[in-house]
């Protein structure tokens, strides 16, 4: 029952958040904080054994399949510098700062805290980037960073934790563990991606393909973790490949898959942000001696170090490589505004909290883990601080910086040219097929194929034309609206015939599915 309430409540709040100016992730966190102290609300303690293997893989999968492999490859240098270099830098800087700020906190435990709060969150970055309309290059860099940085942070956490509990970790051992995890995770992904894609293209039913699609991220993560490699990287590699080759899967699978994964991502993202807010009583319950002004000062100090450290890393990492003439020639002029937004967009999320909750209660000698409750508290306040302070201020900051708006005219022209080339190829293919006696069609049906092709070719060009002075619609928009009205009229007749027992429900479903596919073809998503 608590799980059902969590999912239903978070979904309802997320839906309401789409109708208010506050981004849904922030609204979910705020409501979670408020609800956590309502009498009768159970404690929703984050279990890392649930969050990491059960929530993280599907969230990474949806983010990776929605990303562009080609765009990520083009931005490989900044993505690598952020997802690997920045995470290690933040681990060291935050750890050293916490060691100096908090009296009695051992350096090894402070580095554990640094590794926990180092990675910006994949869900938060993707959610905010979608909402605020960042330039495509910045969005690609943030998405690419958030896909890979969890692997770096988890490995750094394991090394720091081994030193903190007395396992005698060394720098050489830590580097070796990182390389094994990274190379192993990529290797597992490379091994799995081709047979999984082959299976997706050779199964006969779309339902089976979508069932497989739901299992893929969990399987990739589990296989990688079983061989002590990075499950995060395995999921990302497989998902990027499947997303890049999605065109090879049949249309029915793509339609179903898009709907299924949108639903899964919506439910999981909503629950994740609500869970963050609901952790407050759990975190405060064991804070003990660190209460009042001291705890507040430590929280503010760590948050500021986390925020400033990202600026300290991003600007040199952005501009120092441009000392190379080859890099400058390839990337062109670069403004200070892009790195500023990237620096300010480092929101932390549920992965940091899940890693923090996996810290053991005791070290090898049986003594309590040093300042474990304080580390949980500082992780929580850092996550909340970055989500609220940076998440709330990011949209107005982007508007203030006045990034160049998308050139809709140029995008539409590029789309029209692409459609024109595809239509010419389709027309040539149709002529070749109709020339064969085995493909002979009556003239009206052949003309219908050509009319559909011509309509597709002209539709994009019409968006470049004049708009209706009364409605403000383009010719193409009016065509689509009228098409949907006609389909709606047909749908009402089919339902009326079913209700009158002229056709049965099975035939109704067949007819409605045919209309649904026609309506999907007529609908253009503008978001």
Is residue 51 located within the same domain as residue 184? yes
pLDDT tens-digit series, residues 98-109: 999 998 899 999
Is residue 311 located within the same domain as residue 451? no
Phi/psi of residue 209, each to 5°? -65, -40
Is residue 250 scored above 90 in pLDDT? no
Is residue 498 scored above 90 in pLDDT? no
Domain count, the chain: 3
Among 445, 465, 485, which residue terminates a domain?
465
Is residue 497 located within the same domain as residue 382? no
Is residue 145 located within the same domain as residue 60? yes
Please give the Cα distance from 331 to 316 (Å, whole number). 16
CA angle 270, 310, 135 (to 5 degrees): 65
Whether residue 32 contacts residue 21, with contact meaning beta carbons closer than 8 Å, is answered with no
Is residue 275 scored above 90 in pLDDT? no
Among 448, 465, 482, which residue terminates a domain?
465
pLDDT tens-digit series, residues 285-331: 767 666 678 888 999 999 999 999 999 999 999 988 888 888 777 77
Is residue 345 located within the same domain as residue 250? yes
| Token pair belonging to 486 | 């006609």
Q: What is the pTM of this model?
A: 0.84
Is residue 42 scored above 80 in pLDDT? no
Is residue 144 located within the same domain as residue 266? yes
Domain that holds residue 499: 472-527
Please give the Cα distance from 385 to 493 (Å, whole number). 55
Is residue 338 located within the same domain as residue 273? yes
Is residue 461 located within the same domain as residue 476? no
Is residue 396 located within the same domain as residue 440? no
Is residue 278 located within the same domain as residue 420? no
Give CB contacts under 8 A, 24+ apart, made by 471-476. 476/524
Whether residue 191 contacts residue 231, with contact meaning beta carbons closer than 8 Å, is answered with no
State mean pLDDT over 241-248.
Answer: 90
Is residue 386 located within the same domain as residue 509? no
Tell me the sheet residues that pair with 320: none
Please give the Cα distance from 354 to 276 (Å, whole number). 10
Please give the Cα distance from 27 to 379 (Å, whole number). 20
Is residue 461 located within the same domain as residue 506? no
Neighbours of 404 (CB within 10 A): 7
* Confidence tier at 280 by pLDDT (50, 70, 90): confident
DSSP helix/strand/coil, 140:
helix
State mean pLDDT over 322-341.
Answer: 81
* CA 455 to the chain's CA centroid: 35
Which CATH number characterizes residue 200's domain? 1.20.1530.20
Please give the Cα distance from 234 to 181 (Å, whole number). 10
pLDDT of residue 447: 81
Among 362, 382, 401, which residue terminates a domain?
401
* CA 211 to the chain's CA centroid: 21
Nearest alpha carbon to residue 307 among 376, 373, 371, 394: 394
pLDDT of residue 525: 43
Please give the Cα distance from 245 to 239 (Å, whole number). 10
pLDDT of residue 164: 86
């Amino acid at each position: 029952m608590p799980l059902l309430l969590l999912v239903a409540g978070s979904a309802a709040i997320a839906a309401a958040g789409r109708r208010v100016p506050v981004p849904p992730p922030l609204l979910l966190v705020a409501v979670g904080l408020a609800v956590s102290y309502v009498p009768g609300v159970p404690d929703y303690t984050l279990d890392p054994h649930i969050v990491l293997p059960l929530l993280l893989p599907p969230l990474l999968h949806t983010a990776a399949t929605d990303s562009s492999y080609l765009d990520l490859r083009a931005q490989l240098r900044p993505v690598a510098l952020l997802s690997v270099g920045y995470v290690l830098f933040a681990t060291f800087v935050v750890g050293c700062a916490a060691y100096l700020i908090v009296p009695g906190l051992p350096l090894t435990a402070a580095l554990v805290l640094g590794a926990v709060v180092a990675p910006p969150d994949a869900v938060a970055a993707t959610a905010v980037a979608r909402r605020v309309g960042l330039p495509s290059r910045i969005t690609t860099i943030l998405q690419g960073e958030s896909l890979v940085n969890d692997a770096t942070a988890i490995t750094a956490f394991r090394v720091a934790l081994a030193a903190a509990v007395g396992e005698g970790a060394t720098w050489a051992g830590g580097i070796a563990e990182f390389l094994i995890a990274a190379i192993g995770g990529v290797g597992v992904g490379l091994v799995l991606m081709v047979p999984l894609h082959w299976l997706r293209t050779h199964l006969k039913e779309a339902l089976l393909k979508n069932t497989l699609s739901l299992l893929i991220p969990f399987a990739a993560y589990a296989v990688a973790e079983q061989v002590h490699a990075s499950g995060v990287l395995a999921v990302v590699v497989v998902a990027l490949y499947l997303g890049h080759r999605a065109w090879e899967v049949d249309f029915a699978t793509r339609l179903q898959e898009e709907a299924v994964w949108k639903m899964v991502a919506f439910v999981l993202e909503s629950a994740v942000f609500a869970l963050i807010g609901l952790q407050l009583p759990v975190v405060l319950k064991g804070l003990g001696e660190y209460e009042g002004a001291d705890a507040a000062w430590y929280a503010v100090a760590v948050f500021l170090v986390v925020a400033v450290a990202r600026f300290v890393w991003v600007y040199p990492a952005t501009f120092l490589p441009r000392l190379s003439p080859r890099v400058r020639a390839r990337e062109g002029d670069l403004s200070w505004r892009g790195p500023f937004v990237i620096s300010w967009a480092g929101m932390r999320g549920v992965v940091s909290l899940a890693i923090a909750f996996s810290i053991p209660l005791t070290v090898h000698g049986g003594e309590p883990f040093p300042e474990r409750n304080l580390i949980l508290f500082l992780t929580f306040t850092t996550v909340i601080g970055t989500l609220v302070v940076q998440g709330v201020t990011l949209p107005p900051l982007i508007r203030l910086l006045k990034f160049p708006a998308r050139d809709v005219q140029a995008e539409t022209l590029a789309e029209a040219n692409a459609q024109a080339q595809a239509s010419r190829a389709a027309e040539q293919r149709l002529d070749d097929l109709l020339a064969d006696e085995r493909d002979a069609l009556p003239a009206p049906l052949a003309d219908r194929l050509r009319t559909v092709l011509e309509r597709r070719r002209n539709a994009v060009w019409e968006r470049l034309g004049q708009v209706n002075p009364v409605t403000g619609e383009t010719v193409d928009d009016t065509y689509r609206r009228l098409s949907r009205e006609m389909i709606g009229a047909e749908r009402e007749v089919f339902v009326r015939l079913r209700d009158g027992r002229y056709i049965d429900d099975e035939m109704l479903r067949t007819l409605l599915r045919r209309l649904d596919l026609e309506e999907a073809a007529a609908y253009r998503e503008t978001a």
